[in-house]
């Protein structure tokens, strides 16, 4: 069973501060440069690459690229002093 992803962006739409992308979909005829290495152009059918992309500097290429990924987890917000990140009501103080 494959991994599921919650978001599909083009590199121009990508929000690297909020999402981490784990697959790159390159359509037939598309070009992809990943961390400075030019990958072969797919011919005849698209290719899906298992690559982690977390910054706009990680990839470049043609408009025939899509990124699949998930939202980054949100950090806990610091709770009141002496309560270890838990509010006085006993609930975790989660950033929201």
- Buried/exposed code over 22-31 (b: 16+ C-beta within 10 A; e: otherwise): bbbbbeeebb
Share of the chain above pLDDT 70, in %: 74
pLDDT at 1: 46
pLDDT at 46: 93
Residue 15: count of CB within 10 angstroms of its CB: 12
What are the extents of the domains in the chain?
1-96
The residues facing 86 across adjacent strands are: 92
- Dump pLDDT digits (tens) for 11-42: 999 999 899 999 999 999 999 999 999 998 99
- Asked if the model's pLDDT at residue 67 lies above 60, the reply is yes
pTM of the model: 0.71
Higher pLDDT, 22 or 80: 22
């Amino acid at each position: 069973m494959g991994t599921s992803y919650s978001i599909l962006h083009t590199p121009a739409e990508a929000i690297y501060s909020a999402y981490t992308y784990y697959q790159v979909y390159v359509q037939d005829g598309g070009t992809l440069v990943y961390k400075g290495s030019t990958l072969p152009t797919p011919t005849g059918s698209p290719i899906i690459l298992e690559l982690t992309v977390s910054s706009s500097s990680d990839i470049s290429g043609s408009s025939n690229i899509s990124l699949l990924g998930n939202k980054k987890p949100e950090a806990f917000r610091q709770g009141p002093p002496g309560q270890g990140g838990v509010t006085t009501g006993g609930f975790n103080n989660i950033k929201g």
